[in-house]
Amino acid sequence: MDAPSRPAARVARCRLVLHGKHAADAALRALVGRVRAGGVDASVRVTWEAGDAARFAIEAAEEGLPLVLAGGGDGTLNEVAGALAALQRDADALPALGVLPLGTANDFATSAAIPADPAAALDLALQAAPRPVDAVRVHAGDVERWFLNVATGGFGTEATVETPDELKRTLGRLAYLLTGLARFGALKSARGRFRGKGFAWEGEFLVLALGNGRSAGGGHALCPDALLDDGLLDVAILPAPEQNLLGEVLGTLFREGRAGLEENAIRVRVPELELQADEGLALNLDGEPLEGSRFRIAVVPRRLRMVLPRECGLLS
């Protein structure tokens, strides 16, 4: 019996922005070939160095392509989404954004219920209608950056940024936990002043999470109630505990994720936030660090259109 045919693609053209380490993936090459044989003009651009993914996304927008796929991990998605969000165009005039999750953690794709199987993820991107989603704009001095999923600061940032690629490839998400555990002896808190609509807090903190999406650092649900389309930023601040309670609090955070934050963290939802850290701070935007001492963070409602599954729990 013949295999059932795939549903017809909704778009006739698309651009796949592919992380360079997947360029030699024979199965992925065959998948793109099948899509082309089905009548879709699927062009591929392979990244070589930082900035390539953003440049390729902008090129696709300038060519008027209806769909851009971010093929890689959360960092690739961040670069593509940020480049599109920064363009001076209405969301309807931008390409829709799809995700081909090929990274280690795939935090955004997992929490958005995007299939882990590349063929299924590609079918979704080509066949489903895009939905409007928020993006988050961050200013640190004169630098403007964007994120789509979660920004973290403090201990979580260090653990994610310092996890070696080889360890990620070997151990997957467990690598983030092991890196975090290895840093226990070098931990120190950061001090920050936070201001938002109806919210002000100042003090020492270990972990900061700013969520448009929900999960970061290899599957930890740091902002478990965040939505992509509500115009709000979910803020979770883990104040620095007394020294004798440090191991207990961080152990709870790693083991229990949501429960750990609910038990120990300050949580608030605001459309924008100002953060000042006099000694400087690195914010990890979807896995990409941004350093500064003063940050202005604002949700831009319905800035992008994304192709997401019906069962995506991140939409209101």
User: What is the per-residue pLDDT for 190?
Assistant: 85
- List domains and CATH numbers for the chain: 13-128 (3.40.50.10330), 140-303 (2.60.200.40)
Q: How confident is the model at residue 55 (pLDDT cuts 50, 70, 90)?
A: very high
pLDDT > 70? residue 252: no
User: Between vectors from CA 195 to CA 155 and to CA 202, what angle results, nearest 5°?
Assistant: 55
- CA atoms within a 13 Å half-sphere pointing along the CA-CB vector of 289: 15
Pair type for strands 13-18 and 67-72: parallel
User: Over the chain, what is the mean pLDDT?
Assistant: 86
State the Cα–Cα distance between residues 22 and 47, nearest whole angstrom. 10
pLDDT grade, residue 278 (50/70/90)? confident
Check if 288 is active-site: yes
Tell me the percentage of the chain whose pLDDT exceeds 70: 80
Q: What is the pLDDT of residue 263?
A: 66
| Catalytic position from the list 202, 262, 272, 288 | 288
Question: What is the helix, strand, coil percentage profile of the chain, to 5?
Answer: 35, 35, 30
Which tens digit of pLDDT belongs to each residue from 182-238?
A: 444 445 678 999 999 999 999 988 888 999 999 887 777 889 999 999 999 999 998
Please give the model's pTM, rounded to 2 decimal places: 0.85
| pLDDT grade for 249, boundaries at 50, 70 and 90 | low
Tell me how far apart the alpha carbons of residues 71 and 22 are, in angstroms, rounded to a whole number.
Answer: 9
pLDDT at 96 over 80: yes
Give me the phi and psi of 26, to 5 degrees please.
-65, -40
- Given a contact cutoff of 8 angstroms between Cβ atoms, the answer to whether 199 and 270 are in contact is yes
The model's pLDDT over 84-93, given as tens digits with 9 standing for 90+, comes to 999 999 999 9
